[in-house]
Structure 1
């Protein structure tokens, strides 16, 4: 951890992204905004800021336009990952369009600290525990639905060009996940995580990040050879807005840690850009830490990891079907 945090992240050389469309979630602040600033240097045709708060998104878009002399269109679209319908509506608004790069950033950190310092168990309007949905279920739906737009782009690009990329930004905290629920029979894991009586606040954020990583690896496995690179970059412990919804005492504690070890949002953005426009097919299905292909937590690799990611895939698909945001005809990646 300490070695990774102190590692220098080299500057990213801009590439030619003319006529390309880029989507960045959570792009109104922190790592997401810095990623957008970095990717503008490669002059894409359009950057879509996918944000929960339109007003903040418009403010970020204005900042990006001021900092760029290039004719990149900066578009702001709303997507609230606490609502699966909102996620589906966002992708429905892109029907028939090509997407070349999709960067799905991490959600706010609210569940790492003791209960006395944080919010209690809460659910979304869909009835799922908030972190479970925002960190795992919603990104899974978004990534699955965007795959058709990315594949559409892949079909029109010369083979020597940069392949479309789908990056689900990961987090080193997944290594802290205990995830005892994984030992439950098939079909019961998500239900247990959604049970308020079984809720473990200190383990929730790492666990949902691990589930997201497992989903990413399984999605990459099933989409192999389809022309889209899918990977999971971890930008490291960063001075960002991840704690914006945490209580005041948590923020003060975090400031002390950040002062010693926190990576700047600019460096974090370079880690993500490395996974997006530098790393190619060699990174498909891989977890990356500070711009290097790395080993993920032992629960996410080997035969146990493959079995677990397949099980989580089936459970997540089942939930999305049950919520009527994924129809039967969309389930196949073929």
Structure 2
């Protein structure tokens, strides 16, 4: 099956065409009933609530042996773990601290996986924020959604690559799935031609509370397009998944009241429930094969990237973003890992 990069860009507008298809006309696909994750180890970030919690719960239902709940607040993580332990007493369920607004926390988490895990099969990077208010993270100097949805997500992705490669069973690639949104298709991304690009996100004049979430998630799509060209699917299968418009999550918890009211009304008539939405995570992380490497999965199928990525302008932005990101994250362990990938190609 063709990868996302090999598919032609979609010409249908996201609203209403793709949205209606997503929410009303797509056939759900659940893992086969005989799926058995016995002996396997998985990490799910942002897993104390919403889609992350539902993903953790579903993985355990397929006899997952060990689960790492990666959360920003240990107490909330322990509350979630307690609920899961009651339902799955046979599994080992641990709560590990991971603050996606902190480079140091991401590095410490990745180092812990290297040190403490004898095996790692699956990583689902679900943590993200809507970023509807302009906030700067003091420790990094970056706008919060840029930090969480893009920079720290990319950092964690790269730092986990050698762990997934070395600690998955011989002959079986590790699996890394990143949650994304195809609202990126609708992103205005007004600052895309500003040079340098990343610092422009930290300037309040470029902040758009409606556009900020889709465009910061879009950055990850741009970066992973290039990264997955360097990573062999024999070592780690990396894909992205669009769970669809979902009710029962806390993604918009910081949104203005008027936006919350509008979304609540829209969710009441069109949103997927969490169980249905999280089946897209499971499909991406444990069902889809090597043909999904470097792809976006939408409606349980490999889908094309946003049309912008196929254009000359999009490719130029991608190159600039790659260079700036490597410069930013290189000293945090990224450069050494990427050099090892170049050597192995």
Could you say whether these structures have the same fold, taking a TM-score greater than 0.5 normalized by the shorter chain as the test?
Answer: yes
Cα offset for 1:289? 0.6
Pair 1:90 & 2:109 matched: yes
Contact 1:124/1:130 (<8 A) preserved = no
Distance in 2 (CA, whole Å) between partners of 1:102 and 1:231 is 11
Mark the CA change 1:225 to 1:122 in structure 2 (over 3 Å): closer, same or farther: closer
Figure out how many residues of one structure are paired with residues of the other and give that number.
Answer: 318
| Aligned equivalent of 1:280, options 276, 289, 302 | 289
2:261 paired with 1:252? yes
2:189 to 179, 195, 198: 179
Task: Spell out, residue by residue over 1:152-189, the C-alpha distance to the aligned partner (whole angstroms, 9 max, x if none).
Answer: 134x33x3x5x32110111121112122333244xx01
**Counterpart in the other structure of 1:128:** 142
Question: 1:257, 1:99 → 2: CA distance?
Answer: 39
Structure 1, unaligned stretches of length 5 or more? 112-118
Moved more, 102-111 or 254-263: 102-111
Aligned partner of 1:17 in structure 2 is 37
Q: Deviations over 1:274-325 (max 9, x none)?
A: 001110101000011121111121123366544433332221121123xx42
Greater relative contact order, per chain length (Cα 8 Å cut-off, separation 6+): 2
Match of 1:46 among 63, 66, 70: 66
TM-score normalised to structure 2 length? 0.86
Q: CA 1:291 to 1:333, structure 2 compared with 1: closer, same or farther past 3 Å? A: farther
Q: Choose 189-198 or 74-83, whichever is displaced more.
A: 189-198
Partner residue, 2:245: 237
Q: 1:317 aligns with which of 301, 326, 329?
A: 326
1:270-309 to structure 2, matched below 5 A, reads 270-301=279-310, 304-309=313-318
Q: State yes or no: 1:206 paired with 2:214.
A: yes
**SS of equivalent to 2:164:** helix
2: distance between equivalents of 1:276 and 1:28?
19
**Distance across 1 between alignment mates of 2:255 and 2:265:** 15
> Cα gap change, 1:54/1:247 in structure 2, threshold over 3 Å: closer, same or farther?
farther
CA change 1:327–1:236 in 2 (3 A) is closer
User: Could you tell me which residue of structure 2 aligns to residue 105 of structure 1?
Assistant: 126
Scaled by the length of structure 1, what TM-score is found? 0.89
Native 8 Å contact 2:134 2:207 kept in 1: no
**Which position in structure 1 is the counterpart of 2:54?**
34
Q: Which of the numbers 143, 146, 150 marks the counterpart of 2:157?
A: 143
Q: How far apart are 1:42 and its partner, in Å?
A: 1.9
Aligned to 1:65: 85
Q: Which moved more, 1:38-47 or 1:136-145?
A: 38-47
The Cα shift of 1:249 comes to 3.4
Q: Report the Cα offset of residue 333 of structure 1.
A: 4.1
Per the alignment, in what secondary structure is the counterpart of residue 198 of structure 2? Answer: helix
Q: Deviations over 1:35-63 (max 9, x none)?
A: 11111122122110100111111111111
Which residue pairs with 2:10 in the alignment? none
Q: Given the superposition, is the C-alpha separation of residues 268 and 130 from structure 1 closer, same or farther in structure 2, using an over 3 Å criterion?
A: same
Gaps of 5+ in 2: 1-18
Q: Is the 8 A contact 2:23 2:244 kept in 1?
A: yes
Does the CA contact (< 8 Å) of 2:187 and 2:215 recur in 1? yes
**Structure 1 contact 21–45 (Cα < 8 Å) conserved:** yes
The reply to whether residue 332 of structure 1 matches residue 315 of structure 2 is: no
